[in-house]
């Protein structure tokens, strides 16, 4: 199976979000023509949330059979369920509360309201992944959305921290995130890399260095996004400011 890695550049954040939303709807419909169900991994952040809002605003939104789509998260802030920093809350407000997806098919990480501590939260989510895995440690993921930090982090896997090196677990508890809040939960890199398609969505000149380093082959320990490769395709959806250090041969405006 060949992994394609390409960069799609958009003029600004709004057109970026709209384009990714349209592609997501089309690709999800395509997958559902061949498969009974789709598993999607969501990300947080302003751009990730903007994509979900654009999906919700699309006239084609309800052409997706949401009854056959399950949603997971790549990472989460270990805070209360109603904390505005929580990725789940942002995703629900932007999209999930507006579509006919069954509640049982939305799989948020546990919050501080529900478990005693972050270790229990990691164990609970790992078990949920296992139960949905049909004999594997986690389900087959079709599309995984990722944001990228200026330091090159993805999900809550940060440069130089142990989490990015974990290979013997599906979920890692992060206790010393360099950006607040300090306690987070994250899928591990092997789980992220198991997805058929990884779609990285990023905007802003502060992301240009991390993106350039990742595409130039930097080490995953130093630039975690360098290790983000889907089984079939890895696509970087970026605005022009984030693309300033991208090698020309990787830029494919017509790529789909």
Q: Tell me the pLDDT tens digit for each residue of 10-56.
A: 999 999 999 999 999 999 999 999 999 999 999 999 999 999 999 99
- Res. 2: pLDDT tops 60: no
Confidence of residue 252 (pLDDT cuts 50, 70, 90): low
Residue 253 within any structural domain of the chain: no
Residue 34 within any structural domain of the chain: yes
Provide the domain limits for residue 156.
Answer: 4-236
Based on the structure, what is the number of domains in the chain?
A: 1
pTM of the model: 0.95
Confidence of residue 246 (pLDDT cuts 50, 70, 90): confident
Q: Exposed, middle or buried: residue 146 (CB in 10 Å: 0-12, 13-18, 19+)?
A: buried
Say if residues 110 and 124 touch (Cβ distance below 8 Å).
yes
Residue 102 within any structural domain of the chain: yes
What is the separation of C-alpha 147 from the centre of its chain, rounded to a whole number of angstroms?
6
What value does the mean pLDDT of the chain take? 94
Closest CA to 90 of 153, 27, 48: 48
Q: Regarding predicted confidence, which is higher, 184 or 216?
A: 184
Residue 109 within any structural domain of the chain: yes
Kindly give the pairing relationship between strand 184-187 and strand 171-174: antiparallel
Task: Give the helix ranges, DSSP H, for 35-174.
Answer: 45-57, 87-94, 118-131
Residue 169 within any structural domain of the chain: yes
Whole-number pLDDT of residue 253: 54
Residue 88 within any structural domain of the chain: yes
**Residue percentage of the chain with pLDDT more than 70:** 95
Residue 139 within any structural domain of the chain: yes
First-last CA distance in the chain: 17
Closest CA to 71 of 58, 55, 59, 82: 55
Residue 187 within any structural domain of the chain: yes
pLDDT tens per residue, range 72-118: 999 999 999 999 999 999 999 999 999 999 999 999 999 999 999 99
Question: 110 φ, ψ to 5°?
Answer: -60, 150
CATH number at residue 54: 3.40.50.1360
Q: What is the CA angle 141-145-151, rounded to 5?
A: 130
Token pair recorded at residue 67:
């009854």
pLDDT tens per residue, range 126-150: 999 999 999 999 999 999 999 999 9
- Res. 164: pLDDT tops 50: yes
Whole-number pLDDT of residue 106: 98
Whole-number pLDDT of residue 254: 42
């Amino acid at each position: 199976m060949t992994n394609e890695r390409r960069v799609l550049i958009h003029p600004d954040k709004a057109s970026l979000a709209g384009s990714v939303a349209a592609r997501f709807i089309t690709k999800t419909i395509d997958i559902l023509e061949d498969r009974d169900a789709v598993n999607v991994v969501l990300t947080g952040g302003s751009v990730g949330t903007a994509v979900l809002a654009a999906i919700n605003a699309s006239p084609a939104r309800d052409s997706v059979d949401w009854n056959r789509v399950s949603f997971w998260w790549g990472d989460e802030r270990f805070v209360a369920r109603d904390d505005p920093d929580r990725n789940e809350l942002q995703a629900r407000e932007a999209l999930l509360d507006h579509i006919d997806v069954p509640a049982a098919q939305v799989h948020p990480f546990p919050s501080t309201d529900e478990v005693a501590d972050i270790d229990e939260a990691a164990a609970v989510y790992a078990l949920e992944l296992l139960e949905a895995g049909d004999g594997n440690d986690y389900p087959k993921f079709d599309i995984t959305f990722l944001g990228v930090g200026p330091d090159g982090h993805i999900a809550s896997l940060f440069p130089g921290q142990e989490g990015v090196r974990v290979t013997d677990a599906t979920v890692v508890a992060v206790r010393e995130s360099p950006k607040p809040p300090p306690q987070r939960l994250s899928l591990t890199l092997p789980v992220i890399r198991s997805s058929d398609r990884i779609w990285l969505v990023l905007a802003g000149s502060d992301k240009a260095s991390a993106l350039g380093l990742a595409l130039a082959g930097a080490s995953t320990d130093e630039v975690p996004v360098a290790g983000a490769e889907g089984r079939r395709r890895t696509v970087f959806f970026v605005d022009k400011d984030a693309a300033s250090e991208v090698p020309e041969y990787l830029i494919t405006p017509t790529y789909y």
